[in-house]
Amino acid sequence: MLTFLYRMTAALILVAAFAHPVAVTAAEPPVAKELIATLATDAMQTFGVKTLSADERSTLFRDRLLRYSSTKLVSADILGRYWGRFTDGERAEFEGLLVDYVVAIWSGRLADVDPGTKVNVQDAEVVGDKVVVHSVVFAPDEPPAPVDWYVVTADTGANVVVDVQADGVSLIKTMREDFTALLRANGGHAAPLFDAMRKKMAQRAGS
């Protein structure tokens, strides 16, 4: 039932470094396709190197996350209606924590990226205010995995990925329901969420 998680891991490794907010208009489909092709090549060349240490992988992952993404829109998507309830300080703190959290949670899995993994970029279509780029990820010894990328043009003019779906499961939607469950259980207050994120990061660091 959950083998999609492996597919999503491969997708996340690619998208997390490129998830970019501050955008509300769909990108041009050919441009979006080119972005995903470039992203896939870049990510595989970077993280397919097996001689990287854990610290190097984390550093590279963080560098790319910060270089290619503005976490504001992704943060707002994940928090949904709670984003509007947070203070400016809480929003800023969440954005920073989210980067740390994604790096801590996912960078360990970068070691599992097979250098032989290929991404076959297929067609693209406009869906609402986003362009969906369809692709298939071929990892050695794994069944081909359909992965969809959601691309928008930010108000800065940059084309960025704002979500990824593997086997029909949206990374952002799953994170939203995970995070907001904790907020809902704590009256919508930010502090318990931040504490939980820090606790999870500490657990990962100690494992």
Cα dihedral 4/82/199/108 (nearest 10): 30
The encoded tokens of residue 46 equal 């970077």
Q: Does residue 147 bind other proteins (CB under 8 A)?
A: no
Q: Does residue 207 bind other proteins (CB under 8 A)?
A: yes
Q: Does residue 168 bind other proteins (CB under 8 A)?
A: yes
Burial classification of residue 54, based on how many CB atoms lie within 10 Å of its CB (0-12 exposed, 13-18 middle, 19 or more buried): exposed
In the complex, minimum distance from the CB of residue 167 to other proteins, in angstroms, rounded to a whole number: 6
Integer Cα distance of 154 and 170 in angstroms: 20
Closer CB to other proteins, 92 or 181, in the complex: 181
- Residue reference for tokens 């998507």: 77
Closer CB to other proteins, 58 or 174, in the complex: 174
Q: x/- string (CB under 8 A) for other proteins, residues 38-57?
A: --xx----------------
Closer CB to other proteins, 5 or 158, in the complex: 5
- Residue reference for tokens 């297929």: 122
Q: Quick one: which segment of 17-25, 65-73, 92-100, 135-143 binds other proteins (CB under 8 A)?
A: 135-143
Integer Cα distance of 137 and 166 in angstroms: 10
Maximum Cα interatomic distance, the chain, rounded to a whole number of Å: 47
The encoded tokens of residue 101 equal 């959290």
Integer Cα distance of 140 and 200 in angstroms: 31
Q: Quick one: which segment of 2-10, 57-65, 69-77, 154-162 binds other proteins (CB under 8 A)?
A: 2-10
Q: x/- string (CB under 8 A) for other proteins, residues 86-115?
A: -------------------xx--x------
Q: Strand ranges (DSSP E) for the chain?
A: 23-26, 118-127, 130-138, 145-154, 159-166, 169-170
Which residues of the chain form contacts with other proteins (CB under 8 A)?
Answer: 1-6, 9, 37, 40-41, 81, 105-106, 109, 119-123, 136, 138, 143-144, 146, 167-170, 173-174, 177-182, 184-185, 193, 196-197, 200, 203-204, 207
